Amino acid sequence: MRGFRKIVGGVLLLGLLAGCELPAGADPADKDGVTLTVAFTQSGANGAALEADLVAAIEAAKTSIDVAMYELDLPSVTEALVQAHKRGVQVRLVTEGTYRNERGPVALQQAGAPVVIERRDPFMHDKFIVIDGRTVWTGSWNFTYSETYRNDNNVVILTSAAVAEDYTTEFEEMFTEQLFGPDSPANTPHPQLPLSDGVLEIYFAPEDKPQPQIVAALEAAQSSIRFMAFTLTDNAIAGVLSRKQQAGLLVEGVVEEEQITATGADYEALRQAGVDVRLDGNPYTMHHKVIIVDEAVVITGSYNFTRSAAESNDENVLIIHSPELAARYLEEFSRVYQQAQE
């Protein structure tokens, strides 16, 4: 079987399994393939099912849970992690110092679980959890009430020992070696893995230098680029979007309204270049960091399209070559775009 689709807890499960022939450059380390689940949060919808699914995954953990989370404050997730620690599962947390006094870090420390707090000026902006060395949850979603029930976010759940090894390697750098940002080594074990209809690329910033890979993916666009960006201040990315628009490609996007006056924001420059870029219509926050290229490639993760993400923050990025997955993101883009203000 090369792929499957089903609904679990209100979330579409999209399975993309490795085929017989591996794409060039892809690592065959995980012979059972990579299974991807994609879900979206939005104001007033989907959050309860996603929260319940995450709690259930934590409750089902048998050996280990590693959490690298910018902000952790959901009561149910916090309690599930504490209870997992109490029943003997190894639970470890790395979090951003700005949010060290929120519910998650405080409760885990009080329970005796080990917590590493990153205190540099640049952010520990990762958003991922690795369960039992097999399952990874990542995307734009922080584990908070607003992120779950108000804001627009996307979550990718990957079941694969090889993917989990990549994320665990990054986690160990921060948790065990206390290496953050530019000090982190570029040692991702499996930077490319095969999917049935393409390739999964995995990057961690800044060490793996994902920004040139993102630019290259945009430069390769032949027909369309669509983006949902919480913030966009990277002139190299904005420059490609403008050039592709002027070359006749369909380029359209939505940005978070509160971020268009941020230092270096490229919103006005994109509009002047003729790019159809709109302000989000969510009364709370449009928190996606997503680009869809040629309806076939999805770029997503914790990575905002900024120089800080490229050069100093701890971030994680997926570039997913999969028309089937891209179709799901196009549905979300259509919803956000139609809701946006021209």
Strand, helix or coil for residue 125:
coil
Spatial CA neighbour of 157 closest among 54, 66, 68, 83: 54
Q: Is 62 a catalytic residue?
A: no
Query: Of the residues 125, 244, 289, 321, which is catalytic?
Result: 289
Q: How far is CA 252 from its chain centroid?
A: 21
Q: Which of 17, 24, 4, 19 lies closest to 192 in space, CA to CA?
A: 24
Q: Is position 287 annotated as part of the catalytic site? A: yes
Is 209 catalytic? The answer is no
Q: What is the DSSP letter of 248?
A: T
CA 177 to chain centre: 23
Catalytic, out of 27, 132, 276, 294: 294
Q: Are 329 and 167 within 8 A, CB to CB? A: no
Q: Which amino acid is at 107?
A: A
Helix-, strand-, coil-residue percentages of the chain, each rounded to 5? 35, 30, 35
Task: Write down the catalytic residue from 125, 244, 287, 288.
Answer: 287
**Which sequence positions are flagged as catalytic?**
287, 289, 294
